[in-house]
Amino acid sequence: MAIAAQTEDNRLLASLALALVDQPRANLQELARAVGVSKATLYRFCRTREQLVERLVAHATRLIGEAIQAAGLDAGPPLEALKRLTANNVEHRELTAFLIYYWKPDSALEACPHIDWEAALDAFFLRGQQEGVFRIDVPAPALTEIWVSILLGLVEAERRGRIARAGLPALVERAFLEGAATRDRAAA
């Protein structure tokens, strides 16, 4: 029973995250209508819009931190870990879209001090460089920023309907690993 309630809360939070992105100035009543619940239900969930944003930031940062951890970045072949990392993060694309607009790094990290996304990703890309999988002429922190930027950009493009949802993880991975150059150009 508790798992079902948690799953329902997670669905509601994902829907509310997208509603806040699509309607950034919406009040609680408008948000409730957008996600198909009564204002009273939403009010029991969060009493103010500010509380809702805070709850969503905490929820999103926790889930994305868990997605990074679940990818097993320090074990196994780096390309397999990259595939897991990308798939895990795309799974939470609604919350990622929300964080694009509402995340303030200092406040989110203070609320979730156990999350050190940058350090985990930097260490992963450094390990991949040391194993000869990722290029070494680009510093590991730059690889982190490039991967994150591609992920965020394509999640946002999918949300706006510019690219298809199907195959999004593979597109993120391919764009990161291969860039935009043709195979002939990349080989030169």
DSSP-assigned letters across all residues of 33-84: HHHT--HHHHHHH-SSHHHHHHHHHHHHHHHHHHHHHHTTTTSS-HHHHHHH
**pTM of the entire predicted model:** 0.83
User: pLDDT for 110-147, tens place per residue?
Assistant: 555 445 888 999 999 999 999 999 999 999 999 999 99
What's residue 113's pLDDT? 44
**Domains in the chain with CATH codes:** 56-187 (1.10.357.10)
What's residue 141's pLDDT? 96
